Amino acid sequence: MDALSSVVSRLQMAQHVVIFTGAGVSAESAIPTFRDALTGLWSRYDPSLLASPEGFLSDPDLVWGWYEWRRRKSLLAAPNAAHRSIAALANCLPELTLITQNVDNLHERSGSSPVLRLHGSLHHPRCFNCATPYPLPEGIPDEPDGGRRLPPPRCGRCGGPVRPGVVWFGESLPEPIWKQAEQATDHCDLLFSIGTSSLVWPAAHLPFQAKQNGATVVQVNPNATTLDPVADYNLRGLAGEIMPSIFHSLQSSLAARSAP
Ligand code: OAD
């Protein structure tokens, strides 16, 4: 039995599946992965300058401009077959928990709900000072392709600068969401790690924690990562190809099992 068939047979028996995604699940939607996003105009900047409170305070226009450029790309992008297959899997499994490191909204737009967002969202900015949510204007920001410096809007409540609603370097993950993610990881019997370099902790710890708790770990990534030696299955390839194959194989197996 090949690896993909073994994974599908594990999936048929699973009671609680966790799907843990990174930027690679959105790569086929033409959203650059985090480290790719520092291409072109942004390549000369240090990520910690663009994705940290200190960086924002020292140059708010640069940071807000970069995130508006990323938000525009997220809004112009469409969910791909990986997002759609993950959403569809939830309807044919006893329990599925989706945990993402991504800050785009493609999982939600493909029908997944709820989505445990460990690193926040491009689409929910808030005031840097009083944390009041900032209502973004409708529509797609009219950003030149490479992005530009842009002064952040001001908070309607206190007048402070509005910041992106993502977790920055040096900031903690949202506690309630992290707790839910850890609980799901502790109780799952099968975890998929899809499209992540497994480099950024504590998020990257989740697949290792699942393995320690006896779950089967499946990695989907065209490249090797630090998770390789721990994963039970390393499916080398694109999420947009592997996840639909897994979903369709599972559907066929379930149909055959329920046939008279
Ligand atoms: P990375 O850019 O570090 O890694 C993306 C991974 O996706 C790589 O391992 C690629 O090999 C893989 N990949 C690329 N295309 C793929 C495809 N079509 N199918 C499957 N895999 C593919 O992005 P993340 O691991 O998500 O934090 O980065 C984790 C965090 O680092 C991000 O959430 C970001 C950053 O700090 C915040 O933005 C808060």
> Which pLDDT belongs to residue 131?
97
Residues 197 and 253 in one domain: yes
Q: Place 43 in a pLDDT band, splitting at 50, 70 and 90.
A: low
Question: Which atom of ligand 1 is found nearest the CA of 103?
Answer: 38
Residues 72 and 157 in one domain: yes
Residues 68 and 85 in one domain: no
Residue minimizing CA distance to atom 26 of ligand 1: 22
Domain boundary among 109, 134, 166: 166
Cβ(222) – ligand 1 distance below 6 Å: yes
Decide if 119 is catalytic. Answer: yes
Q: Place 254 in a pLDDT band, splitting at 50, 70 and 90.
A: confident
Residues 154 and 62 in one domain: yes
**One-letter identity of residue 161:** P
> Which pLDDT belongs to residue 48?
74
> Which pLDDT belongs to residue 40?
52
Q: Place 35 in a pLDDT band, splitting at 50, 70 and 90.
A: low
CATH number at residue 206: 3.40.50.1220
Range of the domain at 126: 32-76+120-166
CB atoms within 10 A of CB 241: 15
> Which pLDDT belongs to residue 36?
60
Q: How many domains does the chain have?
A: 2
**Candidate list 83, 119, 187, 248, residue with the active-site label:** 119
Whole-model pTM?
0.95
Answer left, alpha or beta for residue 159, where phi above 0 means left and psi between -120 and 50 means alpha: left
Residues 109 and 181 in one domain: yes
Residues 102 and 223 in one domain: yes
Residues 147 and 85 in one domain: no
Residues 225 and 112 in one domain: yes
Residues 89 and 138 in one domain: no
Q: Poorest-confidence range of 3-17, 51-65, 132-146?
A: 132-146
CATH number at residue 56: 3.30.1600.10
> Which pLDDT belongs to residue 166?
97
Question: Which atom of ligand 1 is found nearest the CA of 166?
Answer: 39
Residues 105 and 64 in one domain: no
pLDDT, tens digit, 9 for 90 and up, residues 169-215? 999 999 999 999 999 999 999 999 999 999 999 999 999 999 999 99
Closest residue by Cα to residue 212 from 235, 196, 241, 191: 191
- What are the residues facing 18 on neighbouring strands? 97, 191
Stretch 81-95: mean pLDDT? 97
Stretch 126-150: mean pLDDT? 87
CA dist 213 and 110 (Å) reads 30
